[in-house]
Amino acid sequence: MTKIVKVGVIGAGQMGAGIAQVCASSGYDVLLNDQTAERVHAGIKSVAMNFDRRIKSGKATEEQKVAALGKIKSAPDLAAFKDCDLVIEAATEKEAVKKQILENVAAHLKPDCIIGTNTSSLSITRLAASTGRPEKFMGIHFMNPVPMMELVELIRGIATNEAVFQQVNEFVGSLGKTIAVSEDFPAFIVNRILLPMINEAIYTLYEGVGSVEAIDKAMKLGAHHPMGPLELADFIGLDTCLSIMQVLHEGLSDSKYRPCPLLVKYVEAGWLGRKVKRGFYDYSGETPVPTR
């Protein structure tokens, strides 16, 4: 197996930029791609801002910031990944979109390049079939926010080569992350447990059991959660929460995973959480204000 030196990341949003940051911070050369140059620039800018916060809190130095940013380059198109040893897809959580990206990028990669997907819920085996090299494909699911969260879920598809799995395992370890291995079931481990809890919190709001503020306060002070479930849903993105619940509901055919109608309504309204400044909280002011 070729040593992993150069890493390509497809998607420069919150997850993709975070993956680029931890890879560059660990000494890997990184190529970052998105639909437009403006999105890539915004992703690199967010990496710089993340470093500024870490520098301010004493968790990083200016030298580390400069070194990491020097490792991240813009990839104008998927053909730019031709020399990468590992490419990680971190696009939106929509299977059709991911499949198209994976099919397109696979045509440009060298034969021994490994492909990973950062999907948080979708079938690794189905996505692998889009690449034409399923033996070199697997799930590499980083947690959000990537630079802060210690865990990465590794998921093999039915055809994933054992040597590929071991190499990715070593790569993730080199990033300073801890690995949890999951079987290829809908939503894997973390989201199989976390998203139904969030969905139940939304049902609790929908049925009038408690207000947004009461529900979040109850879980933060009553269960020592660092963030309330509705606040967390806004942070994840309500569209992503809905997508994962739909994957669970359809993939496991169990009514307990039915997405709450209120979650569906918020997504239909475009109230997707922090990224649009409105979800279960309104983020347009200095302090978030509950919207219900």
- Given the residues 89, 118, 141, 199, the one annotated as active site: 141
Please name which of 202, 269, 183 lies closest in space to residue 241, comparing C-alpha atoms: 202
Q: Are 125 and 157 in contact (CB under 8 A)?
A: yes
Is the torsion defined by CA of 84, 90, 92, 95 positive or negative? positive
- 118, 153, 182, 243: which is the annotated catalytic residue? 153
- 191 classed as catalytic: yes
SS3 per-residue string spanning 82-146: HHCCEEEECCCCCHHHHHHHHHHHHCCCCCCCEEEECCCCCCHHHHHCCCCCHHHEEEEEECCCC
Q: Judge whether 108 counts as a catalytic residue.
A: no
Task: Catalytic residue, from 33, 118, 120, 199: name it.
Answer: 120
- Would you call 120 a catalytic residue per the annotation? yes
Q: Residues 248, 198: contact at Cβ < 8 Å?
A: no
Q: What are phi and psi of 130, to 5 degrees?
A: -80, -15
Q: Which of 33, 46, 50, 191 is catalytic?
A: 191
**Distance separating the N- and C-terminal Cα atoms of the chain:** 54
* Catalytically annotated residues: 120, 141, 153, 191
